[in-house]
Amino acid sequence: MEEETHICPDCNTENPPGARFCNGCGRPLDLVGHMVESHLTDRRERIARQREGVSLLKEQVEQASQQRMEQWWQEENERRRRVAEAQARKRRQERLIVTAAIVGAAVLLGLILLITLLVNPPSGPVEATPVPIL
């Protein structure tokens, strides 16, 4: 039968089978060892160990927070890049539409002028007739 892993009651670290001390906090994992340690160790030392554990936990939480923040910034920068690309594409399309509209209007105006000249050709010089003043 396989030995079970030992879970430390102080820091919840999973330790390998047969371990006498916790790999996380160093606490004895057997009951006798724990009782001996608790009688030999004064209160200040236990508090100092607990503070170290809290400091370690705080550091781990801070690192995890920094990693999450870095990931969020990367995602935000990627989102901004995609938005900028979409806006640039939209501006190019709008310029293309405006250019096509201007060219189309110029061609249409040229055709109207050409048709007008073909339908009503100019007839020689136009004389100015004086308008009588009353």
- Of the two residues 47 and 116, the one the predictor is more confident about is 116
User: pLDDT band at 3, cuts 50/70/90?
Assistant: low
- Tens digits of per-residue pLDDT, 89-113? 999 999 999 999 999 999 999 999 9
The residue extents of the domains of the chain are 1-40, 58-113
Q: Is the pLDDT of residue 1 over 60?
A: no
Token pair 């160990």 is found at 49
DSSP-derived letter for residue 9 is T
CA distance 65 to 71: 10
CA distance 94 to 83: 16
- Tens digits of per-residue pLDDT, 18-72? 887 888 888 777 766 666 666 666 677 777 888 888 889 999 999 999 999 999 9
Distances 97 to 31, 52, 84, 86, 93 between C-alpha atoms, Å: 82, 67, 20, 17, 6
